[in-house]
């Protein structure tokens, strides 16, 4: 038998074995799987790193380990994934389960012991391999709505040995789907000063007609020079109305693929580069994402499987081109749009407006802008490209108009403390008025002689004062009452200006674990955490806002164990 054949046979057998192993993963939920979010979906400043599985708008559904392994990470935060478990498997894969309501008894006991030891609700721990082993199909937790979730669901992820998120559908977590993706809009872009589309030197929305469920046709366009295309589209799944992200996009010119991307894997470190693949000014104005079907020079994402040059077209006068954009889901349900292009060089009627001001930000060097009493600092590599800002300032307000370019880093706004009365300095912070016209707290510190705000936002900035402590209200009990038959204590808390920074609770001077849901402002204590001695008990809750204003709630209650 030839050596090459033996080698290929071994590779084939290993591949088949790996695929079989992945296909045998246990489903994370034991209900029919429907998605409210897909892998690689375009989100605000990041790609979605897993799949969001619907839980029938319920909490408390059993969540199962998809394979044998051990829990190597537990993370609990008030935002993000909320309560999350991370399991390492013998295959090298890592599975992640987010927005959980609570864990199974064994894991719950383990993590609460750690929380009580550190006296904090938000925690991240890395158990040893032998501490929390799990079996395939074991119930590890129950679904919930914790963290940054906007409704009950399970966030499920798979990661490879590089800790890169990978598409769970390629590893056997499948969804029934025979629906074609939907095209909403297609745009053409002249990409330099000499290029044009329909005599325009700026973005042009194409007139498109839906022929059937899988085919659209655009009106013919006249174009010349370097031209790119942009797409607004979404995927559909059976029996749900959600508009989900696309799996595969390609662009063909006269039958040849010049651009193709497939959402199979990406790096968390590069997830913010999502802003390089969308028409960012359009997104800021309309809150809708047009995906570019060409690659900008500063785009370092590794999601592209085929590229000719940067994916843009060089349209020549007098030549005809048949452009076809194909979008496909994981099950290869495919929708196409045909775009006839005629090369035609003529006078440009309207060009893209390039606004220049006195305030120029160099992408590599950054810049410091002094407009007394304000100082604005953009650090080096804060953005992907150079840009101009519109800025006005007086002693009370700083206005920074959005440059319509995405940032890679926050920038700094400084205000001199000498301009603030000494008695008010402890209560001072920076706030921004955005589109909602309501002041929003900007993360603010006081350092040497300056008040410093760190922000990604643009708008109208002002100095504000907050000396009012957060509020605390009992929800499910009355002070000095008998709580023997109660399972939980619940409180409503909140802060009307800067937000909650910390919270702590004590019963009979011993620290208790309070769970905080920032979406509802609810604080909860579970009486099953520890046995109380005696009948009468002293309760104390302390909540602090971002400026250190503190509210103390004290009462007594009665309880027999």
Per-residue pLDDT of the chain (561 residues; tens, 9 = 90+): 444 444 334 334 433 444 444 458 999 999 999 999 999 999 999 999 999 999 999 999 999 999 999 999 999 999 999 999 999 999 999 999 999 999 999 999 999 999 999 999 999 999 999 999 999 999 999 999 999 998 999 999 999 999 999 999 999 998 999 999 999 999 999 999 999 999 999 999 999 999 999 999 999 999 999 999 999 999 999 999 999 999 999 999 999 999 999 999 999 999 999 999 999 999 999 999 999 999 999 999 999 999 999 999 999 999 999 999 999 999 999 999 999 999 999 999 988 888 899 999 999 999 999 999 999 999 999 999 999 999 999 988 999 988 889 999 999 999 999 999 999 999 999 999 977 778 999 999 999 899 999 999 999 999 999 999 999 999 999 999 999 999 999 999 999 999 999 999 999 999 999 999 999 999 999 999 989 999 999 999 999 999 999 999 999 999 987
pLDDT at res. 267: 95
- Together in a domain, 383 and 316: no
Beta bridge partners of 433: 439, 460
pLDDT at res. 23: 56
Domain final residue, candidates 302, 333, 351 = 351
- Residue ranges of the alpha helices (H) in 298-362? none
pLDDT at res. 403: 82
Q: Are the C-beta atoms of residues 467 and 457 closer than 8 Å to each other? A: no
Taking the C-alpha atoms of residue 402 and residue 411, their distance in angstroms, rounded to an integer, is 13
The structure's pTM equals 0.91
Q: What is the domain-level CATH number for residue 501?
A: 2.60.40.1220
pLDDT at res. 358: 93
Taking the C-alpha atoms of residue 500 and residue 354, their distance in angstroms, rounded to an integer, is 42
Q: What is the domain-level CATH number for residue 112?
A: 2.70.70.10
Q: Are the C-beta atoms of residues 378 and 454 closer than 8 Å to each other? A: no
- Together in a domain, 282 and 241: yes
Q: What is the residue whose two structure tokens read 């469920």?
A: 213
- For residue 19, being part of any structural domain is answered with no
Question: 451: Cβ–Cβ under 8 A, 6 or more apart, which residues?
Answer: 414, 415, 416, 417, 420, 428, 429, 430, 444, 445, 463
Taking the C-alpha atoms of residue 37 and residue 259, their distance in angstroms, rounded to an integer, is 25
Read off the tokens for 314. Answer: 């060089």
Domain final residue, candidates 148, 171, 194 = 171
- For residue 219, being part of any structural domain is answered with yes
**SS3 category, 117:** helix
- For residue 6, being part of any structural domain is answered with no
Taking the C-alpha atoms of residue 476 and residue 478, their distance in angstroms, rounded to an integer, is 7
Taking the C-alpha atoms of residue 264 and residue 90, their distance in angstroms, rounded to an integer, is 21
- Together in a domain, 414 and 317: no
Domain final residue, candidates 351, 383, 407 = 351
- For residue 16, being part of any structural domain is answered with no
- Together in a domain, 226 and 147: no
Phi, psi dihedral angles at 455 (to 5 degrees): -150, 155
pLDDT at res. 247: 97
- For residue 2, being part of any structural domain is answered with no
Q: Which of 425, 467, 465, 460 is closest to 446 using CA atoms?
A: 425
- Together in a domain, 456 and 495: no
CB contact burial 138-168 (16+ within 10 A = b; e otherwise): eebbbbbbbbebeebbbbbbbbeeeebbbbb
Taking the C-alpha atoms of residue 493 and residue 470, their distance in angstroms, rounded to an integer, is 7
- For residue 15, being part of any structural domain is answered with no
Give the domain extent around 130: 25-171
Q: Which of 288, 305, 307, 289 is closest to 297 using CA atoms?
A: 307
CA 264 from centre of chain: 17
- For residue 424, being part of any structural domain is answered with yes
**SS3 category, 164:** coil
- Together in a domain, 507 and 429: no
**SS3 category, 533:** coil
- Together in a domain, 85 and 162: yes
Domains: count for the chain: 4
- Together in a domain, 205 and 292: yes
Q: What is the domain-level CATH number for residue 397?
A: 2.60.220.30
Q: What is the residue whose two structure tokens read 């910390």?
A: 502
For 472, other C-beta atoms within 10 Å of its C-beta total 18
- Together in a domain, 211 and 317: yes
Q: Which of 156, 191, 215 is closest to 34 using CA atoms?
A: 156
Taking the C-alpha atoms of residue 61 and residue 38, their distance in angstroms, rounded to an integer, is 20
Rg (CA), the chain: 28
CA 111 from centre of chain: 26
- Together in a domain, 367 and 236: no
Q: What is the residue whose two structure tokens read 């109660």?
A: 486
CB contact burial 174-210 (16+ within 10 A = b; e otherwise): ebebebbbbbeebbbbbbeeebbbbebbebbebebee
- Together in a domain, 269 and 395: no
The CA-based angle 85-86-87, given to 5 degrees, is: 120
For 43, other C-beta atoms within 10 Å of its C-beta total 14
- Together in a domain, 115 and 40: yes
For 521, other C-beta atoms within 10 Å of its C-beta total 17
- For residue 10, being part of any structural domain is answered with no
pLDDT at res. 3: 41
């Amino acid at each position: 038998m030839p050596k090459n054949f033996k080698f290929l046979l071994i590779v084939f057998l290993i591949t088949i074995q790996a695929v079989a192993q992945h296909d045998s993963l246990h489903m994370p939920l034991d209900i029919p799987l429907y998605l409210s979010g897909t892998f690689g979906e375009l989100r605000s400043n990041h790609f979605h790193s897993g799949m969001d599985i619907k839980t029938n708008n319920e909490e408390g559904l059993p969540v199962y380990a998809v394979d044998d392994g051990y829990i190597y990470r537990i993370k609990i935060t008030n935002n993000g994934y909320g309560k999350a478990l991370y399991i390492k498997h013998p295959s090298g894969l890592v599975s992640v389960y987010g927005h959980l309501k609570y864990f199974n008894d064994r894991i719950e006991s383990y993590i609460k012991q750690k929380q009580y030891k550190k006296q904090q609700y938000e925690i991240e721990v890395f158990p040893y391999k032998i501490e929390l082993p799990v079996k395939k199909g074991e119930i590890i937790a129950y679904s919930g709505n914790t963290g940054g979730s906007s409704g009950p669901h399970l966030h499920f992820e798979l990661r490879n040995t590089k800790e890169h998120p990978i598409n769970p559908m390629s590893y056997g977590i499948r969804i029934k789907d025979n629906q074609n993706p939907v095209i909403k809009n297609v745009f053409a872009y002249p990409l330099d000063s000499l290029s044009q589309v329909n005599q325009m030197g700026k973005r042009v929305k194409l007139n498109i007609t839906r022929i059937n469920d899988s085919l659209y046709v655009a009106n013919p366009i006249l174009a010349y020079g370097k031209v790119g295309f942009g797409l607004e589209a979404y995927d559909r799944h059976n029996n749900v109305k959600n508009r989900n992200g696309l799996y595969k996009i390609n662009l063909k010119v006269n039958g040849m693929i010049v651009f193709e991307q497939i959402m199979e894997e990406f790096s968390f470190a590069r997830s913010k580069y999502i802003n390089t693949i969308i028409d960012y000014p359009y997104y800021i104005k309309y809150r809708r994402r047009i995906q570019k079907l060409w690659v900008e020079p500063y785009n370092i994402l590794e999601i592209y499987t085929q590229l000719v040059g940067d994916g843009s077209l060089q349209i020549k006068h007098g030549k005809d081109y048949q452009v076809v954009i194909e979008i496909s889901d994981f099950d290869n349900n495919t929708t196409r749009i045909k775009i006839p292009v005629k090369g035609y060089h003529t006078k440009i009627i309207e060009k893209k407006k390039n606004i220049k001001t006195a305030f120029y930000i160099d992408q590599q060097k950054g810049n410091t802008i002094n407009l007394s009493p304000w100082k604005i600092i953009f650090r080096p590599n804060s953005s992907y490209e150079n840009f101009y800002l519109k800025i006005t300032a007086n002693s009370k307000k700083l206005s920074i108009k959005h440059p319509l370019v995405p940032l890679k880093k926050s920038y700094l706004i400084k205000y001199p403390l000498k301009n603030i009365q000494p008695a008010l300095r402890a209560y001072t912070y920076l706030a921004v008025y955005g589109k909602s016209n309501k002041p929003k707290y900007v993360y603010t510190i006081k350092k040497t002689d300056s008040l410093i705000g760190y922000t990604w936002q643009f708008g109208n900035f002002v100095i504000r004062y907050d000396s009012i402590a957060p509020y605390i209200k009992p929800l499910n009990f009355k002070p000095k009452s008998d709580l023997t038959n109660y399972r939980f204590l619940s409180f409503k808390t909140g802060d009307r200006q800067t937000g909650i920074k910390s919270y702590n609770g004590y019963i009979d001077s011993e620290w208790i674990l309070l769970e905080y849901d920032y979406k509802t402002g609810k604080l909860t204590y579970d009486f099953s955490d520890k046995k109380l001695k005696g009948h009468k008990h002293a309760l104390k809750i302390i909540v602090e806002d971002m400026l250190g204003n503190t509210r103390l709630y004290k009462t007594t209650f009665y309880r027999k164990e």
